Structure 1
Amino acid sequence: MKNTLLFKDLNFPPTYKYSSDSNHIPLEFYEDTFPIAKTIDLLLGYFSSNAIKVLSKSFAEFIYNGGKMRLITNHFLSENDFDNLLDNTEINNEDKIIDIFKNLEDLEKNLSKEGQHFFDCLKFLLKKKRLELIPVKFNGFDLAHCKKMILFDGKDYISTDGSINFTLSALIKNSESFQLDAPWVSNVSKERIEEEKVNFEKIYSNQHPNYKQIDKKEIEKVISNIGNDKNIRDLLDDSIKLGSDSYSKKVNFILTKKKERFNTLIEKIDNTPKFPFPQGPRKYQKDAYNEWVKKDYSGVFAMATGTGKTITSLNCLLNLYKESGNYRAIILVPSIALLNQWEEEVKSFNFKKILKVGGGNNWEKDLANYSSNYSWGLKNDLIIISTYGSFVLDRFQKLFQKIQEDFLLIADEAHNMGANNIQKKLKDVKVNKKIGLSATPKRIYDPEGTLAIDSFFKDTPPYTYSFGMAKALEFGFLTGYKYYPLIVELSECEFEEYTEISKKLLKFFDFDKGKFRDDPIVEILLLKRKSIIHKATNKLDLFSSIIKELIKNKKNKFVFAYIPEGNTTNNDGDTVKILNEYLKRIHNNYPKLKMNSYTSEDQNLEEVLRGFEDGKIEVLFAMKMLDEGVDVPRAEVGIFASSTGNPRQFIQRRGRLLRKHKDKAFATIYDMVVIPRLESNLGELFNIEKNLVKNELNRVAYFASLAMNFYDSKEALNDVCQKYDLDLDTIINEL
C-alpha cells in the first residue's frame, strides 16, 4: 500500500503533547505515525521490554509499508523489563540488570505474545536488511531511561522529547507523557529536531564521546534465535490478535479502529499478486524483463531447461500488474502435465483468476461469459492456461479473438508454435505483448517453422534474452553432470541393410558441397537408414550392462531411461513395442529392480512420478513424455537409448537430469552413440558416413564440453574420431 499521507496531515494535539491522562494518549501517536514513517531512528537507554510491548502494537504496519529502522541500544534488560517480556511472572526487583545473552533460554521459553511479536518483526526487518542494530556501552554515562525517537515521512522529520516510560501500564495509568517536535510548529522545534538528528548520527557513526559501539552480531543472533520466520501477512494478523482486555476505553477504541484497518490490509495481501519467494527475482530474471521491455514487449527467452523460464515469464506479468493494477494473460503449453504444473506456478504468484482450457476442463461457458462482459467494458483479471491442441480449436479462437488485445501471451516450449496446425492460426493472433519460452527455439529440419516463430515474436537469434546451459552451470542454477558417451555398433544384419541404403544414397551425394541433393527419394532413404540406427538391437545389451553396473555400485535409484519409439520384431518373429522388449529384458535379468513406464498410454502419471520421487520406483522408462517441461528434480541418472538425431530432445532430456535437488550432488548421463561398424571398410561411402558421424558428434561434443569429466568423454570417442579423421576439440570450437 502506497501512502500519500504525511505527518503534517495528521491531527496532532494543539499542544503537541501526549500523556496517558489526556485525550491524546501515547498509543495514539504510535498508531498514527508509524504507518506513515519511512524511517524510524530509535535510541533506547537499554533494550527495554516495555518499549517492546508498546511498540509491537504499531510495528507491523510500519513494516508493511516498507519502513526502515535504526535502533541504538544497550544489550541489557532490567529485571523488571526482563520479566515484563515473560508470561505469568512476578516483578521483585526493578533495578536489577540482566544480560539477555546469558538469559536467552528463559526468554525463548516464556516470551509473552507482545514480546514474541516484536522479535518476529525485528527478525523480518533483519532478513530484509531494513533494520540496523547498534549496541552501545555508555562509558559510565547514565542514560538508562533515555528513550528518544526520530521519525521521517519522506518530507519532514519529527522527534519526541521527554522521559518516555514505554510501560504497558502507562497505557492505562497516568505515567507516560512526552513532547513532540515538528518543523512546522516553530523555529525552536526545528532546532531541537536538528540537534537530535546530529546527536543520533554521532552515536550511529561511533563519533560520540559518551558512547562506544560493541559487536552487533550477538544481539542479531538473539533476535534470530527468538524471532520466528513470518511473512508480512502473518505479522499484521498477529498484531491485531494482541490482547486488550485490561486496556482503557480510549485504548480499545484505537485498537478497534486499527483492527478494522488491518483486516482490510490482510484482505488486500491475500488477493494481491506477488513474487513467490521472499528474496525476489534473481538478477538474470530482472535482466530478462528489462530486455523484453526494450524489445517493445515481444521476444523469445532462450533459457536452458531448469533455469526458471516459468518464473521469469510470470515475473514479467507481475511487473505489468504492478504498473497497471490488473492482469490478463494466456499461457500455451504442449501437454496436460504442463497445464497442471503451470497452474501451480501461477497460483504461487497469488494470481487468483485462472481458467484452464484442455485436459477435460469445462471452459466454454466461463470464457463465453468473460468475453461478453469484456465487450461491455468489464475487463476483469484472468489468466487462461491452454494446451496448444485446445488453442487452435475454432470455438476457442472465436471467443479469444474478441478479448485478445489486452492479453499477454506466454508460449511455453515455443518451438511447438512452428507446427503447421498452429502456424495457420498465428495470423489471427493480435496480442501486443508476447513471450516465447524454449531451451531450443530453433526447429531442427524445419526452417519454415523456425522462421514463423521468429516472425511471430519479432525476434531472431541470439534472441531477446538468452541464458544457456554453460552459464546456468557456472552460476550454480543447475547440477553438474558426468557424461559417458557409449559407442554402439550395428549388428551384422543391420549393417548390411544400412550399407545397401547408403549405396543408393551415394548417387545423390554432392561431394563438392558435402551434402545430399534435394530429392524426395533422399528423404525416404535417410528415414529408413535413421530407423536402423534408432532401433539398433545392440542397444538393449548395452542397456542391460549399464543397469548391472548401477546395481553393483548401488546407484540404481532415481534412474530415467529414454527408450526408442516404435515397434520391432522379436525372436519369434512377432511385431512388438521396443519399450516392452526393454521392460521384459530388464525384468528377466534383474527381477528385484522396481521399474515402471511413463508414456501417454499409462494411467495415473502423477502417482508414477510421485513414486519415482519417493524412491519406490527405481527406474522410469519413457519415450517422449518427459521431453517437455515436466519437473522431476530427484532424477540422478539418465540412460539415453533413443537416437532420434534431434538435438532438441537431447538438450531437453539432459535438462530433466540437471535440476537441483538437496540430495543430488551431481547427475550422470549415459548416451548411446550408434555408428555403422568401427572395423568396416567404408570405401566410397566414407565421405557420406563422415558427414553423418560429424553431425552426431556435434551433439555429443557439446554435451561433453560442459561435463565434469570432459577428458573421460573425449577418450571414449577417440576410436571413432580416428576412424573418420575428426577432431573433437575442433568440433567443440566450431559449435
Structure 2
Amino acid sequence: MLRDTTWKSVYRTGEDDLLKDFYLKALSESVRYDRAVGYFSSELITFASSGISELIRSGGRMRLVIGHPLDDDEYAAIKDGHSVSWVYDDLEQMIVDTLEGSRGPVASYRLSLLTWMLACGALEIKFAFRKRGMYHEKIGVMSDSSGDSLVFQGSANETINALHIDSNAESISVFPSWKEEIFEAYGQPFIRGFDSLWGGHQKDTLTVSMPSEIYERIASNVGELEKPDLDFEEKLAESAQLLAEVQDSPEQSHPFVPEVLGGRPFVVREHQKTALTKWRANEYRGILKLATGSGKTITAIYGAVKIYEAFGKLALVIAVPYVELAIQWVSNLRDFGIYPHRCYDSRKNWYDRLKLDIQAFNVGARNFLPIVVVNKTLGSEHFVELLSQLPEVRTLFVGDECHRHGSSKLSQALPPVSMRLGLSATPFRSDEDEIDSPFPDDAKRRLEEYYGAVVDEYTLSDAINDDVLTPYTYHVHIVRLTDEEQEQYEDLTTRIGHLISRGEVPSSGSNQPSSLTMLCGERSRLLGSAGNKIPALKALLGELSDEERAHALFYCAEGASEDDGGEYRNIDRVSNILKAASWRVSHFTSKETTSERKSLMRSFLSGGIDGLVSMKVLDEGIDIPVCRTAFILASTKNPRQYVQRRGRILRKYPGKDRAEIHDFVVAPCLGWEETNAGKGLMKSEMERVYDFMELALNKRDIYEALETEGFLA
C-alpha cells in the first residue's frame, strides 16, 4: 500500500532519482493512475508504462491526457465540431509509429504493456488543445486498492530528460491523501482539476477522446496477443545487475575532458567550437570540412563527451577506413577516458563482448558505449545486426574520412541514428587520378542524404594563418618524359579521347573495369613511373641538409604490371636509391602487418628510420607530426590525395618551424609541349602546382622560376 512507504514532500534531481526513488516505487503499488502532461513523445509512452506490471496484475486502469499544439484555425475547427479526421490521423500515426518503432528489450516490453492495455481497454488516452499556446500542465494521481492516493505535481514531463538522474534539473511536489490537511489544501485541487480536464470542463481547453476506431485498429493489430510477462521487469533487473558486474572492469569508460593533452594544457580552439556549434544548430547532423591536421579527431571526441555530459547516456560509434587510423583513434580516445570496443580484427575478439555491452546499455547497466569500427566491418552482416539493437535517439555515429561513405555499398550500412557527424577535408572530391568519379553526383547525394550538408569549413589557409598548422616551403622539380614514354602517353591519350567521344563512362559497381577505366589507369601509372624521376631524386638527395634527411615521407605511385615489377615496383626503385645514399628507410604499405607497421612507426618517431616509403596508406588520417619533409613522386591529379599528403607533414611539433615539400612534376618530352596530349599533361600537373604554390612561404620564387622555364601560361 502507498502509505506503507515514507514519501518525501519534494523530489529534486541532484538529490533524488525521480524515476527510481518515486515514480516506479509508487506506481508499483497503484491500481489506478491518472496523468496529464504537456508533450507527446515516444519516451513518454515508454516511461508511462514503466513500473505498471502490478497495475496490470491487479486489473488496474490508466488515464492519460497529452497536450497537443494547434494554430487558431485548427482550434476553431475542433471547437465548432467540424471534421478533424486529419488531427486524429496525425495522433494515431504518432502512437502507431511509437508502438511499432521500439528498440531494445526494455522499450519493446514496456510498449507491449501499453499495446495490451490499449487493446483491452485498460488504458484511455485523450488530447488537450488550447487556442493559444498548448496545454502544458503536469499532474499525476496514483491510487491504491485501499483508496489512498499520492498526488504529485511539478516540472517533470514523462520523458527521459525529465526523469533521468543525469539529465534535466526537475522537481515534483508530493501530497499523500493520509496527510489530510495538506492533501485538502494542495492535493484535492489537482484531482478536481484532472477530473475537470478529463471531462472536458476546463476553461479555454478542449479535451478530445481518441476515437474508438483507433482502439479497434490497435486491438486488431494485437490479435491474440497474450498478456505480457509481468515478471519481466524483475528478470530484467537481475540481468542488469549481472551485466553490471560483468562490466565492472578497469577499462570501463568514464569520459571526461582532460586538463592536459600531449603534455600541454588542453584548450578547445575557436574553430573547433565554431564547428560543433554549427553542427549542433543543425540538429546534430552535418559534415565538418576541416583541413587535414586541424584537429578533426579531437573536435569529434570533445563533442561526444559534451553530449554525454548533457544527456547522461550515449552510444558512440566511430567508423574509419582502415586499421592504422582505428588504432590512432583508440589512442586519442584514451586521453578522454574512453576505452572503445575495437571492431577491426577477428570477430571472435570483439563480437560476444560487444553484444553483451549493448544489452547492458539497453537495460541501463551502462550509460556510455564507445565503438571503433573499420569500414569493412561496418558493412558486415554481424555488425549491422548488432548496431540495429542500439537506440536511435541516444546514438552518435561519426564517419571519419566520410567521403568513402558515398559509395553505394557502404552508404547502405550506415546506421539510422539521430546524431550523425561526417569528417573530411575533401568530402566531395573524386578518388580517381585520371578521371572524375563515375557518378560524383550520386556519391554526393548519398553523403548529404545521410549526414546532411557541410555545416562548417576550416581551410588549410585558415589553419596556417591561425598557427594551427606549420607553414611550408614548396620545391618544384621538373621531370620530362622520355621519347618512348611520350609516345605511349600520346597513344593512350588518343585512345581515351576516342572512347570518351563515343560516350563511354567509367565502370561503377562492376567487378570488371571498363576499357576507359583500364586505359586511364595505365596512363596514370605511366606518369607515376616516369623514368627520369629516379635520377632527379638521386641528384636531389646529394643536396639535402641533415635536417631534411630526418623524418621524411616518400609518396610513390602504384606499380605497373606484374611483368614490370608488380605493384611495389616504384617503391622498390625509390628504396634502392635511398639505401644507396645511406638512408635508413622502410616500406609502409598494405603489405606490412599491423604489428610490423606499429614497430616501423615507433622506429620512425625515434629516429631509427630516416624515411618511410609509401603509396596510399599514409594518405588519410595517420598522425605523424614529427615529419618535416615530403617527397611527392606519385604525380597524382587527385586533389583528395595531394591535399591529404600535404596536410600530413604540416602538423605542429616542438622545434618544427616549417615543413618542406618536394614535388616531382612531370612535363612533356622536349618538342612535344604543343601537342594536345602535351598541353593536357601540363595543365593537369600545374593544377597541383598552383594549389601548393598558393600557400607556400616561397610563392614568389616558385612563380619566377616557373615563368623563366616557360611553364606558366
TM-score in same-fold range (> 0.5): yes
Give the alignment partner of residue 566 of structure 1, picking from 559, 563, 567.
559
Paired letter, 1:290? T
Which residue in the other structure is 1:189 paired with? Answer: none
CA distance in 1, matches of 2:286, 2:328: 23
Paired letter, 1:311? I
Q: How big is the shift at 1:668? A: 0.3
Give the alignment partner of residue 469 of structure 1, picking from 450, 460, 465.
460
Give the alignment partner of residue 602 of structure 2, picking from 578, 587, 610.
610
Measured against aligned partners, the alpha-carbon deviations of 1:28-48 in whole angstroms (never above 9, x if no partner) come to xxxxxxxxxxxxxxxxxxxxx
Instruction: Give the alignment of 1:272-421 within 5 angstroms.
Output: 273-277=256-260, 278-352=265-339, 354-360=340-346, 362-376=349-363, 378=365, 380-405=367-392, 406-421=394-409
CA distance in 1, matches of 2:391, 2:409: 19
Aligned residues: 444
C-alpha distance 560-672 of structure 1, shift in aligned 2 (>3 A): same
CA distance in 2, matches of 1:576, 1:274: 43
Measured against aligned partners, the alpha-carbon deviations of 1:381-405 in whole angstroms (never above 9, x if no partner) come to 1101111111111011111111151
Aligned partners of 1:276 and 1:348 also within 8 Å: no
CA distance in 2, matches of 1:602, 1:523: 28
Q: How big is the shift at 1:628? A: 1.3
Instruction: Give the alignment of 1:433-444 within 5 angstroms.
Output: 433-444=419-430
Q: Is 1:622 matched with 2:599?
A: no
Which residue in the other structure is 1:423 paired with? Answer: 411
C-alpha distance 324-575 of structure 1, shift in aligned 2 (>3 A): closer
Paired letter, 2:495? K
Aligned partners of 1:333 and 1:413 also within 8 Å: yes
Q: Is 1:594 matched with 2:580?
A: no
C-alpha distance 657-606 of structure 1, shift in aligned 2 (>3 A): same
Give the alignment partner of residue 547 of structure 1, picking from 541, 553, 568.
541
CA distance in 2, matches of 1:615, 1:358: 29
SS in 2 for 1:487: strand
Q: How big is the shift at 1:707? A: 0.5
Measured against aligned partners, the alpha-carbon deviations of 1:112-138 in whole angstroms (never above 9, x if no partner) come to xxxxxxxxxxxxxxxxxxxxxxxxxxx
Which residue in the other structure is 1:453 paired with? Answer: 447
CA distance in 2, matches of 1:301, 1:286: 12
Which residue in the other structure is 1:538 paired with? Answer: 532
CA distance in 2, matches of 1:450, 1:716: 39
Give the alignment partner of residue 636 of structure 1, picking from 618, 621, 628.
628
Measured against aligned partners, the alpha-carbon deviations of 1:418-468 in whole angstroms (never above 9, x if no partner) come to 234312323xx2111011111111131230223211221111xxx211111
Q: How big is the shift at 1:3? A: 11
Q: How big is the shift at 1:272? A: 5.4
CA distance in 2, matches of 1:276, 1:679: 62
Which residue in the other structure is 1:705 paired with? Answer: 694
CA distance in 2, matches of 1:381, 1:505: 54
Give the alignment partner of residue 486 of structure 1, picking from 474, 477, 482.
477
CA distance in 2, matches of 1:601, 1:576: 10
Which residue in the other structure is 2:642 paired with? Answer: 650
Paired letter, 1:538? N
Q: How big is the shift at 1:270? A: 10
Q: How big is the shift at 1:632? A: 1.0
C-alpha distance 316-498 of structure 1, shift in aligned 2 (>3 A): same
CA distance in 2, matches of 1:516, 1:676: 28
Paired letter, 1:496? E
Q: How big is the shift at 1:719? A: 5.9
Measured against aligned partners, the alpha-carbon deviations of 1:654-684 in whole angstroms (never above 9, x if no partner) come to 11110111121210000111122243254xx
CA distance in 1, matches of 2:544, 2:13: 62
Give the alignment partner of residue 658 of structure 2, picking from 666, 678, 688.
666
Q: How big is the shift at 1:507? A: 4.5
Q: Give me the TM-score of the superposition, normalised by structure 2.
A: 0.58
SS in 2 for 1:274: coil
Q: How big is the shift at 1:611? A: 1.3
CA distance in 2, matches of 1:609, 1:709: 31
C-alpha distance 568-548 of structure 1, shift in aligned 2 (>3 A): farther
Paired letter, 1:717? L
Measured against aligned partners, the alpha-carbon deviations of 1:570-627 in whole angstroms (never above 9, x if no partner) come to 99x9997221122223323x1x321112112225212211211121211211111111
Measured against aligned partners, the alpha-carbon deviations of 1:485-517 in whole angstroms (never above 9, x if no partner) come to 22111111111111222333454677xxxx987
Aligned partners of 1:479 and 1:667 also within 8 Å: yes
Q: Give me the TM-score of the superposition, normalised by structure 1.
A: 0.56
Q: How big is the shift at 1:522? A: 4.3
Aligned partners of 2:401 and 2:422 also within 8 Å: yes
273-282 or 554-563, which deviates more: 273-282
SS in 2 for 1:605: helix
Which residue in the other structure is 2:85 paired with? Answer: none
CA distance in 2, matches of 1:467, 1:653: 17
Unaligned runs of 5+ in 1: 6-266, 728-735
Aligned partners of 1:568 and 1:576 also within 8 Å: no
Instruction: Give the alignment of 1:154-233 within 5 angstroms.
Output: none
Measured against aligned partners, the alpha-carbon deviations of 1:208-231 in whole angstroms (never above 9, x if no partner) come to xxxxxxxxxxxxxxxxxxxxxxxx
CA distance in 2, matches of 1:576, 1:613: 24
CA distance in 1, matches of 2:678, 2:462: 34
Paired letter, 2:280? V
Q: How big is the shift at 1:308? A: 0.6
C-alpha distance 408-358 of structure 1, shift in aligned 2 (>3 A): same
Unaligned runs of 5+ in 2: 1-11, 16-249, 431-435, 507-513
Aligned partners of 1:570 and 1:576 also within 8 Å: no
Q: How big is the shift at 1:544? A: 1.6
Larger radius of gyration: 1
CA distance in 1, matches of 2:450, 2:358: 24
Aligned partners of 1:418 and 1:443 also within 8 Å: no
CA distance in 2, matches of 1:339, 1:561: 23
C-alpha distance 356-505 of structure 1, shift in aligned 2 (>3 A): closer
Measured against aligned partners, the alpha-carbon deviations of 1:27-72 in whole angstroms (never above 9, x if no partner) come to xxxxxxxxxxxxxxxxxxxxxxxxxxxxxxxxxxxxxxxxxxxxxx
Which residue in the other structure is 2:58 paired with? Answer: none
CA distance in 2, matches of 1:409, 1:569: 41
Q: RMSD of aligned C-alpha atoms?
A: 3.0
C-alpha distance 516-496 of structure 1, shift in aligned 2 (>3 A): farther
CA distance in 1, matches of 2:566, 2:310: 64
C-alpha distance 516-716 of structure 1, shift in aligned 2 (>3 A): farther
Instruction: Give the alignment of 1:673-712 within 5 angstroms.
Output: 673-680=665-672, 682=674, 685-686=675-676, 688-712=677-701
CA distance in 2, matches of 1:576, 1:320: 45
Aligned partners of 2:631 and 2:662 also within 8 Å: yes
Measured against aligned partners, the alpha-carbon deviations of 1:160-193 in whole angstroms (never above 9, x if no partner) come to xxxxxxxxxxxxxxxxxxxxxxxxxxxxxxxxxx
